[in-house]
C-alpha cells in the first residue's frame, strides 16, 4: 500500500469517528433538553432564605412576646404582649431607616392597652381619610376583633366586634382586609389553616361579623425550594399576609421558619394548594432556640416584611425584630 493511500484512509477514519462522536453528543444533548422540559417545574422556582434586620423591638411594660404585625406604605406596626396577655404594646417602625417608636394609648396616656388579648394579627385600613387597625384577640365574644384609630404614634380604641360562624361565637387568629367598597369592608379571617370571609358596614364601630366558609390550606404537599418539608404538620401557624390576591403564610418549628404562598384567593374554595414556584425559609444558627416569624406583609408591591420572636437560648427576650427577605420583590 502506498503511503499516500494509507494517509488518506487514516484521515477518512478520523473524520468518520469524529462525525460519530458529534452525532452521539447531539443525541445526548437532545435527550437532556427533553428531560428538562418534562421534569417537575422546580427549575425556575424562586427561593429566598436570607434576610435583613431593620429594627430590634423592645420589651416595654413587660411585653416581651411579639405577636400581631401589619405593613403600611411607610411604616410597619408590631404588637408585643406580656405573659398573661393583660398588656399589649404597639411599635411603629419606619421602613426606610428603622426608626422605631413605642406608640401611645391616647385614651389614658399610657403606652399599653389592656384589651387586645393575644393580639395575634393586625390589619390596616384607611376609611374616609383616617387610619385604623383591626386586631384579632384570639378570644370569642364581643372583643373578638378590636378597632383602633391611630394618628401618628397615638392610638385610640374606637370599636369592637363579635365574630360568629354558624351562629356560634368564634375566636380567630388571623385577619386581613380583602377589599372595601362604598358601604362595606370585607375581611379574610382564619384559625389555624381554615379561612373565613366576613363583612362589616364601612364605618361600623360595633356589631357582629357573620363569617362564611372560605378555604382550607394544604401544607403537606407544599414545596420549599423544590422539596416537601417532612415535619411540616409540626410547624405552628401565626398571622398571615395578603397582597394582590395572594396569601403569604408563615409557619415555624423551633429555629426554622418558612413562608408558603397561595394564589387566586378571591375565588378560592375547598382545599387549595401552595404555589411551588415561590417559597421562603430561614434556618437560623444565630438563634438556635427560636426563630419565629410572627407576621408578614408586602410593602408597596415590593419587599416581604416580617416580625420575629428570636431567642439564642430559653429566656432570651433581647432580639425580637422587624426584617425583610433579601432580593425578593412582589412587583
CB 74 within 8 A of CB 24: no
Digit-coded pLDDT (tens) for 234-282: 999 999 999 999 999 999 999 999 999 999 999 999 999 999 999 999 9
Give me the residue spans of the domains in the chain. 1-39, 46-325
State residue 22's pLDDT score: 54
Digit-coded pLDDT (tens) for 153-174: 999 999 999 999 999 999 999 9
| Grid cell digits, residue 225 | 425550594
Digit-coded pLDDT (tens) for 96-123: 999 999 999 999 999 999 999 999 999 9
State residue 38's pLDDT score: 34
| Grid cell digits, residue 138 | 384570639
Q: Judging by DSSP bridges, how do beta strands 75-81 and 65-71 pair with one another?
A: antiparallel
Digit-coded pLDDT (tens) for 306-325: 999 999 999 999 999 999 99
Rounded to 5 degrees, what angle do the CA atoms 211, 202, 91 make?
A: 85
CB atoms under 10 Å from CB of 239, counted, come to: 30
Average pLDDT in the chain: 91
State residue 158's pLDDT score: 99
Q: Which CATH number fits domain 46-325: 1.10.10.10, 3.30.930.10, 3.30.390.50, 2.115.10.20?
A: 2.115.10.20
| Grid cell digits, residue 245 | 390576591
d(CA 42, CA 226): 6
Digit-coded pLDDT (tens) for 72-100: 999 999 999 999 999 999 999 999 999 99
Q: In what order do the strands lie in the sheet with 321-325?
A: 51-56, 321-325, 304-311, 290-298
State residue 40's pLDDT score: 39
Amino acid at each position: 500500500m502506498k503511503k499516500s493511500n494509507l494517509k488518506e484512509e487514516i484521515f477518512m477514519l478520523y473524520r468518520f469517528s469524529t462525525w460519530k462522536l458529534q452525532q452521539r453528543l447531539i443525541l445526548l444533548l437532545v435527550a437532556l433538553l427533553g428531560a428538562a422540559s418534562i421534569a417537575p417545574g422546580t427549575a425556575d422556582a424562586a427561593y429566598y432564605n436570607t434576610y435583613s434586620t431593620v429594627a430590634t423591638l423592645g420589651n416595654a411594660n413587660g411585653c416581651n412576646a411579639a405577636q400581631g404585625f401589619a405593613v403600611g406604605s411607610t411604616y410597619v406596626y408590631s404588637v408585643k404582649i406580656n405573659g398573661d396577655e393583660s398588656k399589649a404594646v404597639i411599635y411603629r417602625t419606619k421602613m426606610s431607616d428603622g426608626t422605631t417608636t413605642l406608640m401611645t394609648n391616647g385614651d389614658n396616656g399610657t403606652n399599653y392597652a389592656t384589651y387586645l388579648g393575644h393580639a395575634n394579627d393586625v390589619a390596616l385600613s384607611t376609611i374616609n381619610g383616617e387610619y385604623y387597625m383591626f386586631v384579632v384577640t384570639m378570644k370569642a365574644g364581643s372583643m373578638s376583633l378590636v378597632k383602633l384609630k391611630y394618628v401618628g404614634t397615638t392610638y385610640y380604641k374606637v370599636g369592637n366586634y363579635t365574630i360568629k360562624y354558624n351562629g356560634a361565637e368564634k375566636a380567630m387568629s388571623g385577619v386581613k382586609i380583602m377589599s372595601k367598597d362604598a358601604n362595606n369592608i370585607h375581611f379574610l379571617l382564619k384559625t389555624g389553616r381554615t379561612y373565613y370571609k366576613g363583612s362589616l358596614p364601612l364605618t361600623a364601630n360595633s356589631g357582629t361579623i357573620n363569617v362564611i366558609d372560605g378555604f382550607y390550606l394544604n401544607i403537606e404537599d407544599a414545596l420549599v425550594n423544590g422539596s416537601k418539608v417532612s415535619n411540616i404538620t409540626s410547624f405552628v401557624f401565626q398571622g398571615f399576609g395578603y397582597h394582590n390576591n395572594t396569601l403569604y403564610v408563615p409557619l415555624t418549628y423551633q429555629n426554622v421558619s418558612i413562608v408558603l404562598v397561595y394564589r387566586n384567593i378571591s375565588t378560592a374554595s375547598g382545599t387549595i394548594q401552595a404555589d411551588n414556584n415561590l417559597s421562603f425559609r430561614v434556618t437560623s444558627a444565630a438563634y438556635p432556640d427560636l426563630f419565629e416569624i410572627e407576621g408578614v406583609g408586602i410593602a408597596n408591591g415590593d419587599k416581604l416584611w416580617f416580625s420575629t420572636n428570636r431567642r439564642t437560648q430559653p429566656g432570651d427576650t433581647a432580639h425580637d425584630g422587624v426584617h425583610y427577605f433579601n432580593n425578593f420583590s412582589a412587583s
